[in-house]
Amino acid sequence: MSGQGSGGVAADRSTQHLLIEWGKWSWGGRPERPRCALAASSAPSAAITDSDATLIDVAMARLVKRKPLAARVLRAYYIEGKTDSQLAAELGVSRNTASSLRKEGIAWVDGALDRLEVNN
């Protein structure tokens, strides 16, 4: 995310950090935690407001329409805790391609969050 002044998603947090916290938030109160350290790291609860998490949800919904494969990769990575290698195997692509799809999705969400904040 580019540095926003006031309002919207906190300016001092990167989009990747927000996605990590959104993944925890999305996991919610399910009885089992994700298998990977990324989604299950540190605190058991998400360090994101419902408002910020909802903005990420809106951005992800838009990403699903425009770049469904990148959205699938982000959901699997941040919510299910899958690695790039696991995603590559599932999608039948190289690990580099899976990583590129994840980075593409992060960049897309970053831009979408900027646009959502401007429109609020």
**Is residue 8 assigned to a domain?**
no
Counting the structural domains of the chain, the total is: 1
What six digits make up the tokens of 76? Answer: 């699997």
**Is residue 1 assigned to a domain?**
no
41-61: b (≥16 Cβ within 10 Å) or e: eeeeebebeeebbebbeebbe
**Is residue 86 assigned to a domain?**
yes
**Is residue 9 assigned to a domain?**
no
What six digits make up the tokens of 88? Answer: 């590559």
pLDDT along the chain (120 residues), means of 10: 43 78 80 49 70 92 96 95 96 96 96 74
pTM of the full structure: 0.75
Residues near 33 by beta carbon (within 8 Å), at least 6 away in sequence: 27, 39, 40, 44
What number of other Cβ atoms are within 10 A of residue 98's Cβ?
Answer: 24
**Is residue 41 assigned to a domain?**
yes
